Amino acid sequence: MPKWLRTLLVPLAVLALVAAACGDDPADPGDGSAAPECDADISVGVAYDIGGIGDKSFNDAANAGLTAAIDEGLVCEENTDSLEPDATGSNRDDNVIALADAGHDLVIGVGFAFSPGINTSAGDYADTQFAIIDGYATCGTACGLTNDGLTNVTDLTFKEHEGSFLVGAAAATKADADGCDTVGFLGGQTGPLIEKFQAGFEAGVAHVNDGIEVLVQYIGDDVTAFNDAVKGEALSTGMYDDGACIIYHAAGASGAGLFNAAVAADQLAIGVDSDQYQLVSAEQQPLIMTSMLKRVDTAVRDAIEQAGDGSLEAGGQVFGMAEGGVDYSKSNTELMTDDIITLLDDLKAQIIAGDIVVPESP
């Protein structure tokens, strides 16, 4: 809600409270419990990327963070707004500008592709704070963008390679146990971001058994690669046919194609971003060994809290394993056995301690 509108509504709200004092208590929902309070002094707009809400991955994780902030009272639900892009993401920047024009105090872009547009437009909205998941807008001209020294933009990034190392170790351990010498990696868009997932996964596999081959396929070279489940399924099927017994994806909504291929091949898959074991069909669920958890939800929730209390600073925030930004899921208790969990927790401790340094490039 725009600040000017909230200011106008204050006197009306006071009159409403006075009137309510003469009748029923508006804070009592009728079941004996008080209604939760929320911070009405902040409004938040979220612009999702390709795949939108319902991708069972990246965007859903961001939406979970917004929901958590609402549930905790960090922002009032009626003071939030969300926009989803078209199939190609061509209106991505238009959505950000629409949310800024609506007067939101914080606008969150869910995905690195928002960086150029926000780098260009943030200076026109001095009273709006912008946060970008996987962003690089504050890198400015050093990253080929237009503006340096932005004071109202925060890039929220992750050490995806660290979490990917753990699921790589899990894949290699399971492959060894099953007498398999080949695993696979399915990436979405080519480039340094998804290559961090690949690098970590390959390093985790090699840490357990450097004799295991890692097959690698990428869906495409632009952001539509994250929303092409048909190609994701075809590439995954090819890797299964070439001997992969487990495939890890970092492909957003395209990962649904991997899960379809896993069912057809009766082989295993590893999810990403969210705990995808909890999100897939009953037929697919037994084949989802684990997921690399990228806590986009935590980043979104924390950005809203910091914007509300005035502590959100321009620049960059990095969420690694030590910060609880990446992890792995244990939901599939049939496949995530105690020995694998013990191994991964030990590796996790070594990464946090700095004893294992995970590469960021394949």
**Cβ neighbours for 57, distance < 8 A, ≥ 6 positions apart:** 51, 252, 253, 255, 271, 272, 273, 274, 276
Domain residue limits, the chain: 43-158+295-326, 161-294+332-353
| Helix H or strand E encompassing 293 | strand 288-294
Give domain 43-158+295-326's CATH architecture.
3-Layer(aba) Sandwich (3.40)
Tokens of 214: 């890692």
Residue 2 predicted with pLDDT over 70:
no
The span from the CA of 279 to the CA of 192, in Å, is 27
Residue 11 predicted with pLDDT over 80:
no
pLDDT of residue 21: 37
Res. 56 pLDDT band, cuts 50 70 90: confident
Range of lowest pLDDT (1-10, 88-97, 163-172, 218-227)? 1-10
Whether the CB-CB separation of 208 and 169 falls below 8 Å is answered with yes
pLDDT of residue 57: 82
167-201 pLDDT tens trace: 999 999 999 999 999 999 999 999 999 999 999 99
Residue 353 predicted with pLDDT over 70:
yes
Nearest to 227 by CA among 50, 54, 48, 61: 50
- Same fold? 43-158+295-326, 161-294+332-353: yes
Res. 14 pLDDT band, cuts 50 70 90: very low
| 161-294+332-353 maps to CATH 3.40.50.2300 | yes
Residues shown for the chain: 362
Q: pTM score, two decimals? A: 0.82
